[in-house]
Amino acid sequence: MTVPAHPGLQVSERMWLAITGTLSVAVILFTIWCLTQGITIIFMHLYYFPIVLMAYHYRWKGAFGTMALSGIYVALVFMFNAGDTDVILAALFRAGVFLGIALVIAYLAEQIARAQEAKEALREEKDQYLSLAPAIVLVLDKAGVITFINDKGSRILECSREDALSKSWADTFIPAPERESVRSLFASTISGDFILGETVRGNVITAAGRIRHIRWNNTVLRDPAGNITSVLSYGEDITEEAAAAASLKRLQEFQENVIANANVWISVLAPDGTILVWNDAAEQISGYKKADVVGRRDVWKQLYPAREYRKNVTREINRIISRDTYLENFDTEIHCADGTLKTLVWNTRALRDDTGTVTSYIAIGRDVSAQKSAEVRAAESSRFLASMIDTLPMPVFFKDTGGKYLGCNPPFEEYIGIKREDLAGKTVYDISPKDLADQYAAADQQLFDNPVPQRYETQVRYADGSRHDVIFYKAPFFNKDGTLGGLIGSFLDITERKRMEDALQESELFNRSLVENLPEYLCVYGEDGRILYVNPASARALGYDAEAVAGTSIITYVAAEYRDLARSKLASRLAGDDASYEIELISKSGPRRSVTVKAAPIQYRNHPAVLLLLIDITERKRVELALRESEAKYRTLFENMLEGFAYCRLIYDEQGAPADWVYLSVNRAFERLTGLKDVEGKRVREVIPDILNLAPEIFTMYGRVASTGASETFEIDFKPLKSWLKVSAFCPEKGYFVAVFEDVTERKESQDRIQHLLRVQEEQLRIINTSPAVAFLWKAEENWPVVTVSENISQFGYTQDDFLSGRVLFSSIIHPDDLGRVGSEVEYNSSHAIDDYIQEYRIFGKNHDLFWVEDYTHIRRDATGKITHYEGIVLDVTRRKLAEELRKATEYRLDTAMEIGKLAWWEMDMPSGAVRFDERKATMLGYSPEKFRHYRDFTALLHPDDLEPTMQAMRDHLEGIAVRYQGDYRIQASSGEYLWFRDVGGITRRHADGSPATLTGVVIDITASKQADLALKETNDYLTSLFDYANAPIIVWDPEFRITRFNHAFERLTGRSEKDVLGEHLSILFPEESQLAAMDQIQITLAGIRWESVEIPVFHISGEVRTVLWNSATLYADDGKTVISTIAQGQDITDRKRIEAAFLESRQLFMDIISFLPDPTFVIEKDGRVIAWNRALEDISGVKGMDIIGKGDYEYSIWMYGKRRPILIDLVLNPDKDAARMNYSDIRWEGRSVTAQAVVKPPGSEKAIPLSLVATPLLDHEGRITGAIES
């Protein structure tokens, strides 16, 4: 630091240098002149000028200039006065004075500079230091809000000071994971609980989202009273320092571990033979732990327990230690800790320091035990493969590249009818017809030209002369030297499958013929509403040719009043609306046809369409109209007759005596006369439990009428009702009776009855007000003004006063579409003396909600018969109506499925076992429907093995164990063969006691499906095993990202079992911090985009995050567009990424080790560029390291194969490079390494050399692959 110049005299550093330099040179020149003139004293005073200036300006550094100048002075005096000791001593004295003066002036200048600096610091401390400090200077108030930040701090945080001020420090600039710890530290600091000078490290997040690592020193600021008011923090940005430290640490760790983790035995010995380094490979090979070996020299006795053998080995080792020679390819056999013997090949050399002194010896040992047993293993493997192929059920054969058979397995001998010894050397032309042989030969040549797996369909002539349809599967095999050796093939007999395909085509033709000849009307229309197809029956009904109708709008043929309905249905049909409806069609000649329209969405010629089934109901409509008119007449008579009416079915006991009866239908008078409500469907003993005891004679009378058919009229004191009844009974059919009766109880009981009825009425009113039934009394006037309404009108949102005040007219709440009908029915009933009737219609609640109601109305008349009022009970039946609509829709879907799917239904009465069924159930088996009357007629045809399981399934359902009856069974057809049926059913009706009354179900012929299932089972089992036990983690998810499959490898990857994750969302597999990014990557699979080596981290339940490299495929539905699932296969690259950096940063260390390895070795980077090529490889390849290092594009393969191509080392970088497998045999993966055997012919050599190869990836500190090494 320089002393500040006087404000009035600004001297630059260059000027200072020029001044002091010029004066020094001038003084030296003047000294030379004086000495030449014999002057030795006077000129010395001139030295004070440059000396003082240098000491003053440069301070302590100026002392060095003074020393140099003084030295020059003494040297000049000595030069010119070499013989004059006094002059020389005087010069030395003066030089010391010069130096002393310079030191004093330098000291004073230093003190002046320091004083000036202190003064400047005091002056600028408040407004400059904090802003110009090379770190973050931060002041936080007691709430943690920024009240000051310097410029450097704002630059580090990548925001302006204005943007930072008044912000919460923790919420704005601290990463979320660290906020709680920072808040805790701040709280303790602001409370005074801190250690002054304590350093804290932490991360900040800048405004741009970048993380910086800061080293903090914190203190507190206090007010005059000593209270803490804020925290002052000084933060140094040590991001780069931390990164460098981390890199250095990783490098040191890697250098320490690279030897320990090498895949060859590496040990380092001190000059006295003591073990200094004993790597992991040495532990693994020998079994002796590092802790038991390092620092000792007696391990050799354990490795070589035989004294003589050890003596020979030791002699050779001592020779290396004493003579410092190079030992190469020295074989020894060691005794491992577990007692096994292993053969090692040693290379040894001395390691020297900079002075050439031997500091240690490195010994590299390669375990070659496996090589010695390789031939044995290869022979065993060959025998195993031959045995395995012979036991395969599929025919397998081998050919050379000339198309000649090399061999085959026994199934091939059996199918073709030729022994393998006779087959050898023959071609396809020797064993097959020429037309087939030509096909085989052409396919073989195609495979030889392009050696990839091949599949094609053709025929094979079997030994019996018959031809069978087959699928050939062929694949190339290669010689050890990588050349094409021939092909291996097999074939699968698909004759039966072909037959089934032909049968399917015939079935399709049959179905087409069936549709063309159906009497029902069929029509198909497209999304635009235009007709795509009509069957002949439809065309005839409309009076047009089918061709003329195609392409026209379907609306054209709909009667005008139905067209709006038809149009609304066109679009809804394509959306899945399957509700049926009725319309009228107009034919070409004019007459209308009433039809019921049923529909189902279909695919017609690969486009969405709707299939319409139009059922002609014209005649039915006419009959229904006549029936309704007739029914109305009789219904009116029935409902308005004064006598009670009951239609009943008699129930007999086991002795055949009448024991009970069921009310099937009763009229209003019945209810009025008996007081019994809602009896229809109930037993009389359920309604009147004591009737058998109180009136046993009535059972006898009704039993006689029901059994004889003779009508009877009688009077009875009906004690259960305490009434005298006059009954007329007749029998409409055997087992049934109709009773018409009237109450003839004496008038004396009338008063009591009236009182009773009043009490009942009062109770009813109470019940009405507390029940869902709303009671109304309307005047018989326009709009039906309300006179009385029960309180529970509130269930529709209204109050009593809304109606009683006249603000709301009852007619105004009826749906406009129903109002006209309701009015017409009221008018009709009123004019036809129907005083009690029921209506259904819709009303609006006060909040405009729509309700369905059932209105039970009674007409009140005066003495003259004039209608004065209407009494009504209104029930909310909205839920019931919705249920009815759902039931109708369900029935329609069932009817459509039965008709279109050609299913056969059946129905069985319980417990009789009598059956009713669709004729197809019999005809599918080739029988006449008359053959079957009882369910045993069917069960008699079941396969013996299926009878009991089927009956047990039925029993399980009847006993309530199973929700439904379902079973697959074989049933014998009339031809004698067994067909597979799937039978599904359930209880559809129960007796009054809850026991099953009727079972209903459907059957379908699943013979073809079963045959296909059996054929596919083996394949499915294989694929399932392949999926579940694949080494790679595999997962499948649906379009909602729910996990549907999860294999064992994935269980190991995540620590979760399949049962724990099935049905769960994919996000549970990913770390919280990367879930969004992971799901973004996964989302793109819905668009059909495939992953190709996409990295997504996966969360292990232990807390570990594993990095996985993914490939994916999307599975579609039959339409080729709808995604049904996505399957992804992963490769766990966590370990690779973890050590990738370490390998990359320590590449030079690798090169040093590789250079010393005895085996030919080279290293490539991830991009394929060669970075190391050792001496042994130079010798065998003839390629110098300097000529190949830095080159890529498979340059390293040329010396082996004469061309650029992937080789074994490329399999490590890309396991999917099939081309890299060519010319290798016995390829195996051992962890991250791959081993193989190959035969190469080095350049200029006629001799082929067999090589045992191993390739291993190089990883950085994060486990990412940075390259690979092959030896």
pLDDT for res 682:
92
Write the DSSP assignment of 952-991 as a string of letters.
HHHHHHHTTSSSSEEEEEEEE-TTS-EEEEEEEEEEEEE-
Average pLDDT over residues 1228-1255: 76
Q: Is the pLDDT of residue 457 over 70?
A: yes
Domain presence at residue 222: yes
Give the DSSP H/E element, type plus range, for residue 281.
helix 280-286
Q: Is the pLDDT of residue 1025 over 50?
A: no
pLDDT for res 438:
93
| 1178 and 1192 part of one domain | yes
Q: Is the pLDDT of residue 139 over 80?
A: yes
Domain termination residue (choose one: 1109, 1132, 1155):
1132
Helices and strands, number each (H, E), in the chain: 46, 46
Pairing of strands 1265-1270, 1162-1165: antiparallel
From residue 505, how far is each of 471, 509, 511, 899, 1190 by CA, in Å? 21, 6, 10, 21, 64
Rounded to a whole number of angstroms, the CA Rg of the chain reads: 53
pLDDT band at 127 (very low <50, low <70, confident <90, very high): very low
Which parts of 530-667 fold into alpha helices (H)?
A: 536-542, 546-549, 563-574, 618-640
Each residue of 699-755: pLDDT tens digit?
989 999 989 989 898 888 888 888 888 888 999 899 999 998 888 776 546 556 656
Domain containing 853 — which CATH number? Answer: 3.30.450.20
Domain presence at residue 501: no
| Pairwise pLDDT comparison (961 vs 25), residue with the higher score | 961
Work out the end-to-end distance of the chain between its first and last CA atoms, rounded to an integer number of angstroms: 60
From residue 371, how far is each of 283, 366, 441, 1252 by CA, in Å? 20, 11, 40, 8
* Residue 1162 · residue 1270 · CB < 8 Å: yes
CA 848 to centroid of chain Cα atoms: 46
| 761 and 828 part of one domain | yes
Task: Compute the C-alpha angle 120/123/127, nearest 5°.
Answer: 115
Measured CA to CA, the distance from residue 904 to residue 802 in angstroms comes to 58
Tokens of 941: 């045809």
| 358 and 432 part of one domain | no
pLDDT for res 978:
92
Domain presence at residue 792: yes
Average pLDDT over residues 1103-1114: 81
| Pairwise pLDDT comparison (127 vs 471), residue with the higher score | 471
From residue 144, how far is each of 184, 209, 360, 1242, 1246 by CA, in Å? 11, 21, 60, 74, 82
| 1113 and 1097 part of one domain | yes
Each residue of 49-58: pLDDT tens digit?
677 677 777 7
| 1142 and 1263 part of one domain | yes
pLDDT band at 92 (very low <50, low <70, confident <90, very high): confident
| Pairwise pLDDT comparison (349 vs 1097), residue with the higher score | 1097
pLDDT band at 1012 (very low <50, low <70, confident <90, very high): low
pLDDT for res 354:
65
Which parts of 518-562 fold into alpha helices (H)?
A: 536-542, 546-549
* Residue 463 · residue 414 · CB < 8 Å: yes
Domain presence at residue 888: no
- CB count, 10 Å around CB of 129? 12
Q: Which amino acid is at 847?
A: N
Measured CA to CA, the distance from residue 191 to residue 647 in angstroms comes to 95
Q: At 598, is the secondary structure helix, strand, or coil?
A: strand
| Pairwise pLDDT comparison (1125 vs 846), residue with the higher score | 846
Domain presence at residue 1161: yes
| 279 and 170 part of one domain | no
pLDDT for res 323:
63
pLDDT for res 1145:
44
Domain termination residue (choose one: 203, 237, 271):
237
Tokens of 727: 């009954």
Closest C-alpha to 674, from 658, 698, 707, 652: 698
| Pairwise pLDDT comparison (195 vs 1175), residue with the higher score | 1175
Tokens of 267: 């040990």
Q: At 157, is the secondary structure helix, strand, or coil?
A: coil
Q: Work out how many domains the chain is built from and give that number.
A: 10
DSSP state of 1: -
Longest Cα pair distance anywhere in the chain, in angstroms? 180
DSSP state of 1090: P
| Pairwise pLDDT comparison (904 vs 1261), residue with the higher score | 904
Q: Is the pLDDT of residue 585 over 50?
A: yes
Task: Compute the C-alpha angle 15/21/23, nearest 5°.
Answer: 100
Sign of dihedral through CA atoms 799, 804, 805, 811? positive
Tokens of 177: 């994971």
| 766 and 813 part of one domain | yes
* Residue 841 · residue 849 · CB < 8 Å: no
Domain presence at residue 1153: yes
Each residue of 377-393: pLDDT tens digit?
655 666 766 677 777 77
List all residues 6 or more positions away from 1222 whose beta carbon is below 8 Å from its beta carbon.
Answer: 478, 482, 1205
List all residues 6 or more positions away from 1048 whose beta carbon is below 8 Å from its beta carbon.
Answer: 1028, 1029
* Residue 1182 · residue 1242 · CB < 8 Å: yes
Q: Give the HSE-up count for residue 931: Cα atoms under 13 Å, Cβ half-sphere.
A: 17
pLDDT for res 1022:
40
Q: Which pTM value belongs to this model?
A: 0.28
Average pLDDT over residues 549-564: 85
Length of the chain: 1271
Q: Is the pLDDT of residue 1262 over 90?
A: no
| 336 and 413 part of one domain | no
* Residue 736 · residue 706 · CB < 8 Å: yes
Query: Which stretch, 178-182, 754-758, 1134-1138, has highest mean pLDDT?
Result: 178-182
Domain termination residue (choose one: 127, 158, 180):
127
pLDDT for res 227:
83
Measured CA to CA, the distance from residue 1156 to residue 1173 in angstroms comes to 11
List all residues 6 or more positions away from 670 whose beta carbon is below 8 Å from its beta carbon.
Answer: 644, 645, 646, 676, 679
| Pairwise pLDDT comparison (266 vs 1244), residue with the higher score | 266
The mean pLDDT of the chain is 79
| 716 and 764 part of one domain | no
Measured CA to CA, the distance from residue 1186 to residue 541 in angstroms comes to 93
Each residue of 149-179: pLDDT tens digit?
877 788 888 998 888 888 899 999 999 999 9
CA 621 to centroid of chain Cα atoms: 56
List all residues 6 or more positions away from 123 whose beta carbon is below 8 Å from its beta carbon.
Answer: none
Average pLDDT over residues 1080-1106: 82
| 254 and 206 part of one domain | no
Sign of dihedral through CA atoms 130, 136, 142, 145? positive
Domain presence at residue 890: no
Q: Is the pLDDT of residue 1152 over 70?
A: no
Domain presence at residue 633: no
| Pairwise pLDDT comparison (497 vs 796), residue with the higher score | 796
From residue 399, how far is each of 431, 931, 1139 by CA, in Å? 14, 60, 47
Q: Is the pLDDT of residue 1154 over 70?
A: no
Tokens 């399917």 locate to 504
pLDDT for res 1218:
60
From residue 285, how far is each of 301, 340, 1258 by CA, in Å? 16, 10, 22
Measured CA to CA, the distance from residue 419 to residue 437 in angstroms comes to 19
| Pairwise pLDDT comparison (122 vs 246), residue with the higher score | 246
| 725 and 776 part of one domain | no
pLDDT band at 1241 (very low <50, low <70, confident <90, very high): confident
- CB count, 10 Å around CB of 1027? 17
List all residues 6 or more positions away from 737 whose beta carbon is below 8 Å from its beta carbon.
Answer: 648, 650, 661, 702, 705, 706, 729, 730, 731
Task: Compute the C-alpha angle 970/973/978, nearest 5°.
Answer: 35
- Name the phi and psi angles at 486, rounded to 5: 155, -155
Closest C-alpha to 587, from 618, 610, 613: 618
Each residue of 409-454: pLDDT tens digit?
888 888 888 888 888 889 989 989 999 999 999 999 998 898 888 9
Measured CA to CA, the distance from residue 1133 to residue 750 in angstroms comes to 98
The boundaries of the domain holding residue 982 are 902-1005
Measured CA to CA, the distance from residue 469 to residue 922 in angstroms comes to 35
pLDDT band at 259 (very low <50, low <70, confident <90, very high): low
Each residue of 853-889: pLDDT tens digit?
999 999 999 888 899 899 988 888 888 887 677 667 6
| 1128 and 1141 part of one domain | no
Whether a cis peptide bond, with omega within 30° of 0, leads into 911 is yes
Task: Compute the C-alpha angle 288/292/293, nearest 5°.
Answer: 75
pLDDT band at 1132 (very low <50, low <70, confident <90, very high): confident
List all residues 6 or more positions away from 1029 whose beta carbon is below 8 Å from its beta carbon.
Answer: 1047, 1048
pLDDT for res 1093:
72
Closest C-alpha to 1261, from 201, 243, 209, 238: 243
Per-residue HEC secondary structure of 1045-1074 comes to: EECHHHHHHHCCCHHHHCCCEHHHHCCHHH
pLDDT band at 683 (very low <50, low <70, confident <90, very high): very high
